[in-house]
A = this chain, B = another copy of it.
Amino acid sequence: MSLAFRSRAHDDDVQDLRDVMTRMAVRMTFAKGEEIYGQDEDADFVYCVTRGAVRTARVMSDGRRQVGGFYYPYEVFGLDAGHVHRFFAEALSDCEILVLKRSALRADLGQAQFERVLWAATQRELARAQDHVMILGRKSACEKVASFLAELAGRSDAKSVEMPMSRQDMADYLGLTIETVSRMLTQLQKSAVVEFAGLRSFRICNTDAMARLAE
């Protein structure tokens, strides 16, 4: 089985999942900051962003927060590991989400494809988490912020990249404080690696320097 073939099949699964969700799922809207699902809740649903953005996070008993990831239109979430949510999900901005019961998905796709599709989605989540581990474990503050911007830019096709999350969200994703994130953004701009157009929009000026920092 060639790599190309497998990738193709993988993409098909993702597409199938989106198709089913578009067809069968309930369309819900959430206001900025609203909870979509809670930590330790049963993971009975699958979610897909159609408009806006979502963050997943966990908090420790003393309030320290770790953001697990951000999700944008067309991305599937709610699969964090098994039958109980280990993170909670919140609307980053006002947003629209497709919500589908897992059992309904299974009924429509059949057991086999259901498992294949969710396995593929779980693998993407795992890849994401592993990249996150790399960023958190062995990178400097500047590299963390650069990696984050590079990832955002990678997901966007436009020249100008929109940043829907606050500095606090970025900090809690990168294991930093808002002050440090702010300083690093300023520094990256001063050294002409990126250029900001307002607080939440940027574009990469020096691709090489960016790639070097983000590894």
Please tell me if the beta carbons of B215 and A137 are within 8 angstroms of each other in the complex: no
Partner of A138, one of B83, B115, B125, B175: B175
Partner of A122, one of B66, B112, B122: B122
Measured CA separation A58–B131 after assembly (Å): 10
Please tell me if the beta carbons of B83 and A7 are within 8 angstroms of each other in the complex: yes
A3-46 residues at the B interface, CB under 8 angstroms: 3, 6-7, 10, 42
Q: Does A166 contact B (CB under 8 A)?
A: no
Q: How many copies does the complex hold?
A: 2
Please tell me if the beta carbons of B215 and A127 are within 8 angstroms of each other in the complex: no
Partner of A116, one of B66, B115, B173: B115
Q: Does A60 contact B (CB under 8 A)?
A: yes
Partner of A80, one of B81, B118, B126: B126
Please tell me if the beta carbons of B129 and A82 are within 8 angstroms of each other in the complex: no
Q: Does A119 contact B (CB under 8 A)?
A: yes
